């Protein structure tokens, strides 16, 4: 009973630390990062982008050549409806990007020729690593579903992001491209998050190997194989990334096997439970 209460507290602590790390990071990003859609056509995409922004804690959505916000966009926006309704609307790109330190064009069409600066690609990961080191505001600019961003629009941007994808068909759906780029924005968070599961304690690793070896010796497993089998098991354990819960489960199985083999000292009583 006591153990259960402690586990519950530990879980609650883990949960709130997980949430705290997220909300602090996302609210910092929200102050700095905006998404600009240039002349998007399809309500489905527009709604999906608003939803994605909510997924990643952003709120400043801007439209250049604003579309009508129809039923489909609203339906697809789900919890991002407010973002959609509060989106800022601009008649031209220059006004939309005014005041941003980093303005990143995104495109499926790239060049590998170092002298053609306009479309020299940077991966989303590299972009974020660089951009998040600065302290200025960041605008991510996405193009039309049919013909993307025009050269004149790309020239207004001081960064250029390309999501690596099949060179024979590198064109992602607009909202999918937004999704990948926003996910990359929070990738570094991974290192800050609390471990999602408790790793097995060191002494339990050898306890488990000992228990398996004990069981083995209760059978007619050839004795000459035992040293090598022990080494194999301990190497396997060291690589396993086993959690404490998995350890308890396996120990439960071993206890059950011992009982079946009749040498667990319980005088024939079944173990209480099989974890």
Instruction: Give me the residues that bind ligand SAH (CB under 6 A), please.
Output: 106-109, 142-143, 145, 147-149, 161-163, 165, 170-172, 174, 177
Task: Answer yes or no: are the C-beta atoms of 41 and 146 closer than 8 Å.
Answer: yes
The span from the CA of 275 to the CA of 253, in Å, is 8
The span from the CA of 208 to the CA of 250, in Å, is 8
Task: Answer yes or no: are the C-beta atoms of 255 and 212 closer than 8 Å.
Answer: no
CB contact set of 181 (below 8 Å; sequence gap of 6+): 106, 124, 140, 161, 163
**CB of residue 98 vs ligand SAH: minimum separation in angstroms?**
20
The span from the CA of 15 to the CA of 18, in Å, is 5
Where do the H-state alpha helices sit in the chain? Answer: 2-32, 43-55, 71-77, 81-85, 93-96, 124-131, 151-154, 174-185, 189-192, 202-217, 226-239, 244-261
Q: Which is nearer to ligand SAH, 151 or 191 (CB)?
A: 151
Q: Which is nearer to ligand SAH, 172 or 254 (CB)?
A: 172
**CB of residue 115 vs ligand SAH: minimum separation in angstroms?**
21
Q: Which is nearer to ligand SAH, 137 or 165 (CB)?
A: 165
**CB of residue 116 vs ligand SAH: minimum separation in angstroms?**
15
**CB of residue 183 vs ligand SAH: minimum separation in angstroms?**
13
Q: Which is nearer to ligand SAH, 142 or 247 (CB)?
A: 142
Q: Which is nearer to ligand SAH, 180 or 250 (CB)?
A: 180
**CB of residue 121 vs ligand SAH: minimum separation in angstroms?**
8
Q: Which is nearer to ligand SAH, 152 or 228 (CB)?
A: 152
The span from the CA of 163 to the CA of 169, in Å, is 12
Minimal CB distance to ligand SAH: which residue? 148
**CB of residue 173 vs ligand SAH: minimum separation in angstroms?**
7
**CB of residue 80 vs ligand SAH: minimum separation in angstroms?**
18
Q: Which is nearer to ligand SAH, 10 or 171 (CB)?
A: 171
Task: Answer yes or no: are the C-beta atoms of 143 and 161 closer than 8 Å.
Answer: no
Q: Which residue in 132, 80, 72, 65 sits closest to 101, CA to CA? A: 132
The span from the CA of 107 to the CA of 266, in Å, is 69
């Amino acid at each position: 009973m006591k153990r259960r209460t402690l586990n519950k507290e530990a879980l609650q602590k883990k949960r709130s630390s997980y949430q705290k790390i997220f909300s602090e990071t996302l609210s910092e990003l929200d102050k700095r990062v905006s998404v600009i859609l240039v002349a998007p056509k399809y309500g489905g995409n527009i709604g999906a982008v608003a939803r994605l922004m909510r997924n990643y804690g952003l709120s400043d959505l801007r439209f250049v050549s604003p579309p009508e916000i129809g039923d489909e966009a609203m339906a697809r926006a789900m919890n991002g409806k407010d973002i959609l309704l509060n989106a800022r609307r601009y008649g031209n790109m220059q006004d939309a990007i005014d005041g941003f330190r980093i303005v990143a064009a995104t495109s499926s069409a790239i060049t590998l020729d170092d002298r053609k600066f306009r479309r020299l690609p940077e991966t989303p990961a590299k972009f974020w690593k660089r951009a998040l080191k600065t302290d200025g505001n960041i605008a991510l600019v996405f193009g039309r579903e049919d013909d993307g961003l025009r050269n004149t629009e790309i020239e207004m941007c001081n960064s250029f992001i390309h999501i690596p994808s099949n060179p024979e068909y590198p064109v992602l759906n607009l909202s999918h491209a937004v999704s990948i780029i926003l996910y990359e924005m929070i990738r570094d968070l991974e290192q800050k998050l609390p471990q999602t599961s408790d790793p097995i304690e060191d002494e339990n690793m050898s306890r488990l190997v000992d228990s398996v070896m004990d069981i083995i010796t209760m059978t007619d497993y050839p004795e000459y194989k035992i040293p090598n089998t022990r080494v194999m098991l301990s190497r396997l354990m060291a690589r396993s990334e086993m959690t404490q819960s998995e350890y308890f489960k396996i120990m439960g199985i071993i206890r059950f096997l011992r009982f079946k083999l009749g040498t667990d000292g319980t005088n024939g009583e079944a173990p209480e439970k099989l974890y």
